[in-house]
Amino acid sequence: MMGYWYLNLMTKEMQFGEVCQSSNSLVTDFLNLNDDDPLIINTQFKIKESLEILDQTIKNNKFNEISISYNGGKDCLVMLILYLSSLSKHYSKEELNNFGELQSIYINYELQFPELIKFIESSTIRYKLNLTSITMNLKDGFEKYLSHNPQIKSIIVGTRRSDPFASDLKHIQKTDHGWPEFIRIHPVINWHYDEIWCFLKTNKIEYCKLYDQGFTSLGGINSTIPNPNLKLSNGGYLPAYKLLGNDSQERDGRNIKSIEKEVRDE
């Protein structure tokens, strides 16, 4: 029954404090699972590691000095729920209700899938995000965002180590020279693909429907196809969570060579 109580609550109109508390209940229930499954055990370890980073971030910043980078993807969704959970341990429900919502930013320069846009809109409401949407590249987008929100000191990002240019990232670090200056927080940097899906599926957390159509990493319409490794003989695709234990294949649907091969094979 894990996750149903959480989902039922989240379908109702809730204040921000209740959203944070229900997220904390979900995370706590998962950590309390007594299961011999190595995947569950590994995911529990990653949760604890992520919560330590988030706790440190909250202690080192005022609430209005933190923002999150949110794009509706599976990694950002896990990051968001863990952050909401952490907030409930540092602030009372009344304090969180007074804050009202999370500062957040969505930077994108590609034509997006309607399904992803719909999920971003619905999850923005569900999780109480004050989402600023900017159509630019990342560098210019962050610069514009910070120019309008100079109080922001740290931005929590859902990057994982298997993402491009992320293999050497630390949990907490300043942006590179030439970029807008802020502290990047990477709470899920060490998570593996199957651990992300273990957390989402075990807790029955709603995610973008594209993942059920074989997409394993969501980019723009013109640069993303369902993952070829999930293709069935009848032309359909297995859902994303069936691609387990292999982070290296996660972005095959966003690889130009894979896309070109898919077109040739059809």
Q: Would you list the DSSP string of 11-45?
A: TS---HHHHHHHHHHHHHHHHT-----HHHHHHHH
Which pLDDT does position 85 carry in this prediction?
A: 98
CATH code linked to domain 4-185: 3.40.50.620
147 has a pLDDT exceeding 90: yes
112 has a pLDDT exceeding 80: yes
The terminus-to-terminus CA distance of the chain in angstroms comes to 42
Alpha-carbon Rg for the chain, nearest whole angstrom, is: 18
99 vs 167: CA distance, rounded Å: 35
Question: For residue 210, what are the contacts with CB-CB under 8 A and spacing of at least 6?
Answer: 113, 115, 116, 218
CB atoms within 10 A of CB 164: 8
Which pLDDT does position 168 carry in this prediction?
A: 84
121 vs 142: CA distance, rounded Å: 20
> pTM for the full model?
0.91
List phi, psi (to 5°) of 69.
-95, 115
115 has a pLDDT exceeding 90: yes
- Range name among 73-87, 173-187, 206-220, 235-249 with the lowest pLDDT average: 235-249
CA angle 190, 198, 40 (to 5 degrees): 80
257 has a pLDDT exceeding 90: no
For residue 5, what pLDDT band results from cuts at 50, 70 and 90? very low
User: For the residues 19-25, what does the mean pLDDT come to?
Assistant: 97
- Range name among 78-92, 107-121, 175-189, 244-258 with the lowest pLDDT average: 244-258
Exposed e or buried b for every residue in 212-250, given b needs 16+ CB within 10 A? ebbbbbbbeeeebbbbbbbbeeeeebbbbbebeeebebb
For residue 173, the cross-strand partners are 184
Helices (H) and strands (E) in the chain, counts: 9, 6
Which pLDDT does position 6 carry in this prediction?
A: 46
Sketch the domain layout of the chain as residue ranges: 4-185, 209-265
Which pLDDT does position 1 carry in this prediction?
A: 40
Question: For residue 204, what are the contacts with CB-CB under 8 A and spacing of at least 6?
Answer: 2, 3, 4, 6, 7
Which pLDDT does position 256 carry in this prediction?
A: 52
Which pLDDT does position 244 carry in this prediction?
A: 79
User: For the residues 82-93, what does the mean pLDDT come to?
Assistant: 97
Which pLDDT does position 260 carry in this prediction?
A: 43
User: For the residues 143-154, what does the mean pLDDT come to?
Assistant: 97
Which pLDDT does position 12 carry in this prediction?
A: 57
Pair 237, 213: CB distance under 8 Å = yes
pLDDT digits (tens, 9 = 90+) for 152-204: 999 999 999 988 777 889 999 999 889 999 999 999 999 999 999 999 999 99
125 has a pLDDT exceeding 50: yes
Which pLDDT does position 8 carry in this prediction?
A: 46
pLDDT mean across residues, the chain? 91
